[in-house]
Amino acid sequence: MAMKQGRGVAAINYPTGMNLGGDPSQALVHSTPTGNFMVSLSSVDLGQGLKQVMSQICAETIGVPTECVIIDTADTDTGPHCMGTFASRGTHRIGNAVLQAAQEARQVMLEVAAEELEVNASDLETDGEGNIHVKGAPQKSISIFDTALAAHFKQGRSISGRGMFLVQRSFPDTETGAMKPATCYAHACVVADVEVDDETGEVTVQSVKNVYEVGRALNPKMVEQQLVGGSWMGISHALYETTEPYYPNRDHGGTDFNQYLMPGPGDLAETETYVLERPSSDGPYGAKGPGEMCANPQIPAVANAIFDAVGVRIDTMPITPERILRALKAKAATGESRTQ
């Protein structure tokens, strides 16, 4: 009886979006009289930070600081249509809609500024700090604050934009299965190190080294929060979680967090996260959807590490101590290395 060490690897890809009936989202942007920008959506922030990343996409595109952009989420009276927040589609689909709306608003803003500065709009650029100036002549400039005032009180214009992003519906070919249910793909490779107690069947994930490719990390700290949370969820799926421990038997299902097991703070693996960026051709500033992808590769990596440690395959999730002990017993009895 001993503590056995093992190491496993897994590599995956993950699609962005859900293209079952077409995959649309829309956005509206308008400026206030003082040069702040309001984005109206009917999209939902689940706690992953949708509002923050949408404000950064809008700000980058218009050319203002992020704090000048307010996001109004999820009111069907005030916001245009959104398919929803799922399928790793939020940053990509909604972000594209916000990007397009912001481009249109920016164009109006530059036209208003051009009239104030008596130049062509195409000769203007933003400095990202709240000013518009003539290319190559930064002394000839107007603030976005004054531009918005001029639009509202002098020129009678609405600095606003409409954005819509639609992936057309894909109808699978009945015979070949040719279809496009999603768009750009995120990627990951994970190496997990585990320790298995071959007397109790308990597994400790000692470390996970996660490498994720996300298209573009629009806000790296928020990408990190999602990737680290996802990594934890993957380990949780691999070793702990089930609503029916004796599936398909419905008995003994959990009714609360005492009965539905997930790893607690003391069970956290040492987690290292590395991010690569290969911009997608169709995402806002190259973003792909990493929201779901980040929770998947830990599961097989841990399973493979357990085999490396104690020589048994558990092909049923979750990989509980009971399943490992049964497999070890079967292996000892027959010399066979695999079980259910």
Partner 1 sequence: MELRKSYFADERKDDLHEIGQSRPRSDAPGHVTGKTVYFADRTFPDLLHLKMVRSPHHHANIRSIDTSEAEKHPGVIRVLTAKDVPHNVYTILILIQVGPEDETVLADKKVSWKGEAVVAVVATSERAAQEAAAKVKVDYEVLPAVFDVLEALEPGAVQVNEHHPGNYYHYDSGDHRKVRFGDIEAGFAMADHILEETYSSSPIEQAPTETTGCIVAPEGNDRFTCYTNTQAMFFTLDNASIILQMPGHKLHMVGGTVGGGFGGKVDVIVEPIAILAAKLTGRPVSFIYSREEEMQISSPRAAEKIIIRDGVMDDGRLVARQVTGYTDAGAYSRHSPYGAQKGAAHYPGPYTVPNVWIDTYCVYTNRTPSSAMRGFGVTIADFALEVQMDKLARLIGMDPLEFRFINAYRDGDMKAHRQPTEGAALIECMQEAARVSNWPVAQKYLDMSSRTREA
Q: Is 228 in the site for partner 1 (CB under 8 A)?
A: yes
Sign of CA dihedral 224, 225, 227, 232: positive
Structure tokens at 56: 């950064």
Q: How far apart are CA 138 and CA 91, in angstroms?
A: 34
- Applying CB under 8 A, the span of 53-61, 102-110, 133-141, 159-167 interacting with partner 1 comes to 53-61
Neighbours of 198 (CB within 10 A): 18
Smallest separation, CB 153 to partner 1 (Å)? 28
Cis peptide before 318 (omega within 30 of 0): yes
- Applying CB under 8 A, the span of 100-108, 145-153, 159-167, 174-182 interacting with partner 1 comes to 174-182
Smallest separation, CB 56 to partner 1 (Å)? 5
Q: Pick out residues in 55-94 that bind partner 1 (CB under 8 A).
A: 55-57, 59-60, 63, 65-67, 71-77, 79, 81-87
Nearest to partner 1 of 130, 155 (CB atom): 130
Classify residue 35 as exposed, middle or buried by CB count within 10 Å of its CB (0-12, 13-18, 19+): buried
| CA distance between the termini of the chain | 23
Q: Pick out residues in 152-171 that bind partner 1 (CB under 8 A).
A: 169
Q: Is 311 in the site for partner 1 (CB under 8 A)?
A: no
Smallest separation, CB 318 to partner 1 (Å)? 7
Q: Pick out residues in 186-225 that bind partner 1 (CB under 8 A).
A: 187-191, 209, 211-213, 215-224
Q: How far apart are CA 173 and CA 177, in angstroms?
A: 5
Smallest separation, CB 209 to partner 1 (Å)? 5
Q: Pick out residues in 265-284 that bind partner 1 (CB under 8 A).
A: 272-281
Please answer whether residues 226 and 37 qualify as being in contact, where contact means their C-beta atoms are separated by less than 8 angstroms: no
